[in-house]
Chains A and B, each alone.
Chain A
Amino acid sequence: MKIVVCLKIAPDPEDLEIGSDGSVSTTHAEWTIGGFDLPALETGVRLAEMHGGKVIALSVGPPDINQSKIRKDILSRGAEELVLVVDESLRDASTAETARVLTAAIQKMGDVQLVLFGEGSADLYFQQTGVQVGERLGWVSLNAVRDVRLKAEGTLQVQRVLEQEIQVIEVPLPAALSVTSDICEPRLASMREILRASKKPVLEWSLADVGIESLAPSVEILAVKAPPRTARKAILLDGSVEEAVRLLVSHLKKEGVL
């Protein structure tokens, strides 16, 4: 089975710099693989290990996504190949643009049976791209998938978790599935895999390579700002534990929250 796992590579939310005027900068942020996407990669790799086949990791974005550390990170987690579609116009791309480029790349690869996504990207978290790609490919697509099993050739049985129910669903391949973050625990790469990673193929494609001439934005970004935050007192209560606790209780009484 040929499995594609789509990963969002983006600035780490932990590294945001917020200015006193509420401005937000990612200039010094490290770019990383989205945390929600690692369980999707692990799911794909386990399926390939169990039933044969190979996992191709796919990411689209601005030139920042093509970094050796990130490439190694992805390839040491069990993907056999990495495809990056890189174009400056993909910086801040909204879901329609991202889904369009992913779809074109998957079509170019050919013969793909399963595409996996995380539940949302770590930076934008629209929770839309996976579903859109499935529909654009003309395949079935599902979100909130918590378990994937290969039943017969060409058929999966999956579990899907909704707010109030669990569903067991038969899915004909090809299909696009967005998995939950608790579907499985992503592996830590072994030394051997880390060494092997540097020998695996990495392909960088341009938009033209996937047959897209230009990418008109579907959304205009007007502003990015830190949300207004309640100012916090940040009072560290000193002294022995007993004293600190006594002080705390008296503060809480004064605040009227006890």
Chain B
Amino acid sequence: MINPQRILVVSEDVNLIGELIGAARRLNSEGRSVIAAVVAGDQSAVRRVASFGVDQIYQISQVPEGHLVEDIFLTLLELIHQYEPAVILIGATTTGRLICGRLAARLDLSAITDVRAFDWHKDGLKARHMIFAGGAERLERPLRMPVLMSIARGQHEVEVVPNATSPEVVTLPFITPQKRVVLLERKDLPPVSVNLVDAKRVVCLGRGIARQEDLALVENLAKELGAEIACTRPLSEGLGWLPRERYIGISGAHIRSDLYIGLGVSGQVQHTVGITDAKVIVAVNRDPDAPIFKQADYGIAADLYQVLPALIQAIQTV
């Protein structure tokens, strides 16, 4: 096995850079690769990335006013031409996806995004990506260089290397793209009120819940269980009863809780892909043929409005 010679990691988010460096180290099992990080930020960001124990840092210290941070892609492209990395790892955020696609187009290659697992073989890199709403996984080998992949948050450890030798820091001048949009305004979203990914127990509501007022009932159950409330997409995007960050599924959260209780959830793949890592799955649905029962450990085929009060009571007496 020959390790890739140079690995470049890119993210607008300094902590995610830490995780990507963790991923890059996995590719560097023989310790022969040079790992470089691109930092779009000031000296403190550079110091933080240096603490992750990286070999080189390319700093783009300022993105001009009115530009999107994604406009660094042209500067990156120039760097890629000069530095010729074998592998480029990009943080799978909205910004990362845009940068990734622009680079892929210019380099005439396909990026493999949201990579779940990867390995470096003598004939190149093999990576796994989820397809068909989680129904299948595809193992792929990119045929062109460099290999461009994006990796989602939370898959690799951030390692702070004590007394890391100071990396070489090179400042890159920002190259302005010819065609560009103008950022007029930005607003911070309210801080995310829930972290479903780390929740121990989750009670998930589906369209079987008839009225928004009934959420109070479910809150009682969640309180008794010490559970977070989640939902299927229609309750959030369609009805707007719950915020976006509370829906589970392909375009929502992937949970890893000990317990998932679905109330009036039918069990379509786009939703259940987000619960496959839950330890115990419970489903309550009045339709005995609902697909969720096949994917559950325990099922009750009954009206959730009868089950809810009984369940709250039973748990109170535990």
Where the two chains meet, the residues of A that have a C-beta atom closer than 8 Å to any C-beta of B are 11, 13-14, 16, 18, 24, 35-36, 94-97, 99-100, 119-120, 122-136, 138-144, 157, 160-172, 175, 181-182, 185, 217-227, 229-230, 232-237, 241-242, 244-246, 248-249, 251-253, 255-258
Contact = CB atoms under 8 A, between A and B. Distances in A.
Given A140-B180, A223-B138, A226-B136, A257 B110 contact: no
A147 B26 CA distance: 40
Contacts, number: 258
Contacts of B250: 125
A249 B318 contact: yes
A235 B181 contact: no
Contacts of B318: 249, 253, 258
Contacts of A244: 300, 302, 307
Contacts of B302: 241, 244
Closest A-B pairs by Cβ, 8 of them:
A131-B101, A135-B105, A94-B110, A168-B185, A13-B133, A13-B132, A96-B110, A132-B105
A166 B189 contact: yes
Nearest to B113: A126
Contacts of A224: 131, 136-139
Given A14-B268, A227-B130, A249-B311, 9 more contacts: A16-B136, A95-B110, A128-B110, A130-B101, A175-B181, A219-B112, A230-B279, A233-B298, A255-B297
B138 A221 contact: yes
Contacts of B133: 13, 122, 125
B136 to A, nearest CB: 4
A154 B184 CA distance: 17
A128 B140 contact: no
Given A236-B301, A237-B298, A252-B280, A219 B251 contact: no
B228 to A, nearest CB: 14
A220 B143 contact: yes
B281 A257 contact: no
Nearest to B260: A257
Given A226-B137, A253-B318, A131 B185 contact: no
Nearest to B124: A220
A139 B109 contact: no
Contacts of A128: 97, 100-101, 104, 110-111, 113
Contact of B297 (A142, A235, A253): A235
B173 interface: no
B314 A139 contact: no
Nearest to A171: B181
B135 A16 contact: yes
Nearest to B66: A170
